[in-house]
Structure 1
């Protein structure tokens, strides 16, 4: 059973620092947050939490208050599996609601398929802004050699959809309805056209003039960066042009379909 709690001691912050370094392998690069800043944020009333499994730290999350009555979740890292990320998000939500906050925001790499599915389908969050190369050049082992495009994502904490998705006793039908994932005979949203497809592992652009369009992302961008950096860069710019372009036009990302496609709609 994973236990999540706020952290207050230097020894705990050092454990989070070691966990993050094990995940991202920063090397000589600067980590996204230091032990000293964790200490300052926790002391000032910010969000610094750890997830523990049998007394062992298996996840950490750090956030700060943001404009619009929100908590901005700056960095979260977990060991693989066991629902640790979901447990941390549930703790964040409780923490924010107890303080009268209305939403939690965070950024993530739009090419990370697993994160997109988790954020949009499992949590019910929605991207609000495409941010090209948001953090500049990053030198950790996961992001090295790529541009740091990010999606700024908002999680409306009291939205009925979010409330359903975060209730442990919600039925499978209630969860499916909350995820808003209608399917046609081909397994895709009815009437949708593919604006960016994955053809043989490479992005291929299609029409964007339908009311609902789908934007594919690669199956494993982290592995692709190491195995074929040229194709990884092609994906980066294709998703930036298509997804970023659609969002810049005012279209809304309303879901993540089939664990493969962003669903983008005219509003």
Structure 2
């Protein structure tokens, strides 16, 4: 846990660095308020270097809401497990957070590595964002729910069935076999944004269309393949 003034300020600066902005992502003052209200910021270190951090709040329903997380490659999993340990000690049975549905690597980490389930799609969750990672794109988010009481075994499934939508690159975007749905996202949407804001917008709207319709029919996202296909099913 990080609770001292210099440590909290360091985390605030780290979040701003990761999101490529000179503005606060979460300010030092906000992080202190979260800690004072019973939340926690947990850091990961390589020697004296801060290489990851996550901040969460305990919610009235007994769950934990993970507000933000950032980590160097290979650090995210142990950092998330440390946050889970903190949550379980408080009596939490589940944890929730949001992420950009177009970021395939985050989807695979959340749904496959951790075994969480994406249960809700929200259009433009934050409204306009002005950081270096998200600037110029709408802030659609998937909400994931992570059961802390037991491990879910994700089922890797290759996309199958009829192609029902085409992606901006001309390749299949969505398939269905009548029971399950598969939806593809770009390999690296951050690079796509930097190269073409218009193409990124097209991907956003295309994937949004699949998820909004699927969620309205009771589907949740349970898996992400290595080549960028979400697997959606009714649980």
TM-score computed with the length of structure 1 as normaliser: 0.82
Among candidates 2, 5, 9, match of residue 7 of structure 1: 2
Alignment check: 8 A CA contact 1:192 1:212 kept: no
Among candidates 80, 85, 102, match of residue 89 of structure 1: 80
Structure 1 alignment gaps of length 5 or more = 1-5, 162-177, 183-187
How far 1:63 sits from its partner (Å)?
A: 1.0
- Give the direction of change, closer, same or farther, for the CA distance of 1:125–1:259 in structure 2 (3 Å limit): farther
| CA RMSD in angstroms, aligned pairs only | 2.0
Aligned counterpart, 1:140: 131
- Give the direction of change, closer, same or farther, for the CA distance of 1:32–1:195 in structure 2 (3 Å limit): farther
1:55-112 Cα offsets, whole Å, 9 max, x none, are: 2111111111224311100011123x2x211111000111111111001100000000
Aligned counterpart, 1:61: 54
- Give the direction of change, closer, same or farther, for the CA distance of 1:202–1:59 in structure 2 (3 Å limit): farther
Mapping for residues 32-181 of structure 1, pairs under 5 Å: 32-79=25-72, 81=73, 83-161=74-152, 178-181=153-156
How far 1:211 sits from its partner (Å)?
A: 0.6
Among candidates 189, 196, 202, match of residue 221 of structure 1: 189
- Give the direction of change, closer, same or farther, for the CA distance of 1:206–1:10 in structure 2 (3 Å limit): closer
Distance 1:216 1:139 in 2: 26
How far 1:210 sits from its partner (Å)?
A: 1.4
- Give the direction of change, closer, same or farther, for the CA distance of 1:114–1:195 in structure 2 (3 Å limit): farther
Provide the aligned length of Structure 1 versus Structure 2. 235
- Give the direction of change, closer, same or farther, for the CA distance of 1:22–1:206 in structure 2 (3 Å limit): closer
Q: Determine helix, strand or coil for the equivalent of 2:64.
A: strand
Alignment check: 8 A CA contact 2:167 2:203 kept: no
Mapping for residues 18-33 of structure 1, pairs under 5 Å: 18-27=13-22, 29=23, 31-33=24-26
Distance 1:226 1:250 in 2: 34
Alignment check: 8 A CA contact 2:16 2:25 kept: no
How far 1:203 sits from its partner (Å)?
A: 6.1
Q: Determine helix, strand or coil for the equivalent of 2:52.
A: strand
